[in-house]
Amino acid sequence: MSRFLVIFLSVVIAVKADISPLDYWRNVLPNTEMPSFFMNHLIDPDLDVTLLAKRPLSIRKGLAQYYFILFGPLPSKEHILSTFFPQSAMYPGTKMDEGTNFTRTMWGNVFVPRPEADAVPFSTKNLPQLLDHFSMVPSSKEAKDLKQLIVDCEAPNMVGETKFCPTSLESMIDNVVSLMGTHDVSALTTTINSTKLIAQHNKVVYRTTSPIKSFPDHTKLIICHPSPCAQAVHYCHTNTKYKGYVIPLMGSDGSTVNALTICHHDYMNFNPGFFEVLKMEPGSQPICHFLPENHIVWVRSDQMPTLRTVSSGGSGFQF
């Protein structure tokens, strides 16, 4: 290898290492709009990452591990009814449970540049270093949540599932591009349009409106859930048994929501308590749930124009 080529490659590597997460997004996904909450979670370039552990992290009650809730311990009845519903309830005019809340599940966690994120890899063997890195007391709830996150990320994939747990925005982008096989992707989120304060959403009653739209059958959806960690870490997964929808809702306060919704067609690992709370026969129909505004769904952009209306009126959902 020539001396010139060695120098050239060294410069390229150095530039790539120094590029900010925002610039990395713009370079790799030039046609993809960045969701506003991602922009808000980019770390201040002047912030010392060693101070990250001292940033306050607030988690919405009951949602510390949203991504695993269907298969883990049964959450409260109130939480199930406020988030989940049988697919047969997906039609205009449905009144959602009074506890339904689309606002973000946690506040305070931020993306750090990949070099800092990769400094201590997220793995079971590195747990002591991670606890020290985040100044966590090993017996604390925060430490237990972090350990459970790592265990979930390292667990074998379920049938039909592919998952990854990016600890940086750059890593998330690379994995999405690899799994989708294209740089032409869209990053979708639930959107809330309201002039009210965020806190007041806890008292809003929502009804579905129209038109309800669905992604084409067999569309690959990569869903990324934020995890309870001061450094932004996501649990991302895709499954052949998922079906995606966009459901418009109107709130009692006049707010509107376009809610990303995922329906699960595979019940093999579901906690059976869900069926009892939702008054469903196991296996009778898919279980659906809304995604809060700071969870993201990735989809190939060529699937976006084919979103089809599945219900624009009437009193029932046709399968």
Strand partners, 302: none
pLDDT, position 52: 57
Between CA 94 and CA 288 the distance in angstroms is 14
Is the predicted pLDDT of residue 274 greater than 50, yes or no?
Answer: yes
Taking residues 290-317, report their average pLDDT. 75
Taking residues 211-217, report their average pLDDT. 90
Taking residues 18-46, report their average pLDDT. 82
Is the predicted pLDDT of residue 259 greater than 60, yes or no?
Answer: yes
5-9, 67-71, 223-227, 312-316 — most confident range = 223-227
pLDDT, position 294: 84
- Of the two residues 146 and 170, the one the predictor is more confident about is 170
pLDDT, position 188: 94
Is the predicted pLDDT of residue 279 greater than 50, yes or no?
Answer: yes
- For the whole model, what pTM was predicted? 0.83
Taking residues 20-39, report their average pLDDT. 90
**pLDDT band at 65; cut points 50, 70, 90:** low
Mean pLDDT, the chain, whole residue set = 79
- In SS3 terms, the chain reads as CCHHHHHHHHHHHHHHHHCCHHHHHHHHCCCCCCCHHHHHCECCCCCCHHHHHHCCCEECCCCCCHHHCCCCCCCCHHHHHHHEEEHHHCCCCCECCCCCCCCCCEECCEECCHHHHCCCCCCHHHHHHHHHHCCCCCCCHHHHHHHHHHHHHHCCCCCCEEEECCCCHHHHHHHHHHHHCCCCEEEECCEEECCCCHHHHHHCCEEECCCEEECCCCCCCEEEEECCCCECCEEEEEECCEEEEEEEEEECCCCEEEEEEEEECCCCCCCCHHHHHCCCCCCCCCEEEECCCCCEEEEEHHHHHHCEEEECCCCCCCC
- Of the two residues 68 and 228, the one the predictor is more confident about is 228
Residues 72-86: pLDDT tens digits?
667 778 778 888 888
Between CA 286 and CA 265 the distance in angstroms is 5
pLDDT, position 281: 85
Between CA 173 and CA 111 the distance in angstroms is 13
Which position has the token pair 């592919």?
162
Is the predicted pLDDT of residue 50 greater than 70, yes or no?
Answer: no
Taking residues 18-47, report their average pLDDT. 82
Query: Which DSSP category does 238 fall into?
Result: E
pLDDT, position 241: 82
**pLDDT band at 319; cut points 50, 70, 90:** very low
Is the predicted pLDDT of residue 217 greater than 70, yes or no?
Answer: yes
Is the predicted pLDDT of residue 248 greater than 90, yes or no?
Answer: yes
Is the predicted pLDDT of residue 57 greater than 60, yes or no?
Answer: no
Q: Are 303 and 215 within 8 A, CB to CB?
A: yes
pLDDT, position 166: 94
Taking residues 247-262, report their average pLDDT. 92
**Percent of the chain topping pLDDT 90:** 27
- Of the two residues 104 and 111, the one the predictor is more confident about is 111
pLDDT, position 176: 97
pLDDT, position 23: 92
Which position has the token pair 């059976």?
272
- Of the two residues 180 and 147, the one the predictor is more confident about is 180
Structure tokens of 40? 């808000």
Q: Are 112 and 234 within 8 A, CB to CB?
A: no
pLDDT, position 53: 53
Taking residues 204-225, report their average pLDDT. 90
Between CA 29 and CA 286 the distance in angstroms is 33
pLDDT, position 178: 96
